[in-house]
Structure 1
Amino acid sequence: MPLKIHRALPILLAVSLFCANNAAADEIDAALAAAERAVIAAESAQPRGDAAQALEQARGQWLAAREARRKTDKLRLAEAAAANADLAHAKARLDTARQAVESAAARNADLRRRLLMNGGG
């Protein structure tokens, strides 16, 4: 019986190394896909100003991640790209919300002026 274990050990080691390599590749593929989705989502928010700069940085990091040779570099760059794209998306949404608030405030001020001019106050 011990002889069978010694024969199976190299096979088990090879299988575990293969699985570990596949898991790392899957993690990198998932990180690259997440970065791509985040960049696309940020682009759809039509960022301007600081948000546009964050998006450009994210896009550059995502492209660099795709071209990187080392797995650790791919993973690091993909994660940074996703984070910067999320930041760009959040800043773009914040800018949109601010514009909506400013527009509503201007409409309210106009309505107040009209009410006061018509003697409604």
Structure 2
Amino acid sequence: MNALAPTSSWTAVCHIEDIPKLGSRVVHHSGCEPIAVFRASDDHVFAVIDRCPHKGGPLSAGLVHGHNVTCPLHGWNINLEDGQALAPDQGCAHKLEVRIHAGQVLLALPESASPTRQG
């Protein structure tokens, strides 16, 4: 399910090498909150709205471990595969679909989106 809009298109937002392993990059575009794009140590790439479901902390500033990220504010662990908080916490970060093509990271964004990148 696309959390941004019912109509979307695949948009290149960066190259996979622009995202450090076990790190993140923030992408901004009109009509949506900032998006955190994460790269795991196994090169899987995930994207969620950059807001923890607990208190709204920036997940992009969290620690990536496996396919999870720990929110820097209160330590909630979010599964990047589905956006779900890990027990005992409850909540869900809005996940976006990601594809990699020729090293480019593509996100399913609303067709009207015009992404800009930020470190």
TM-score (norm 1): 0.23
Higher relative contact order (CA 8 A, sep 6+): 2
Instruction: Determine which structure has more spread, i.e. the larger CA radius of gyration.
Output: 1
What TM-score does the superposition give when structure 2 sets the normalisation length? Answer: 0.24
Q: Which structure dedicates a bigger proportion of its chain to helix? A: 1
Higher strand share goes to which structure? Answer: 2
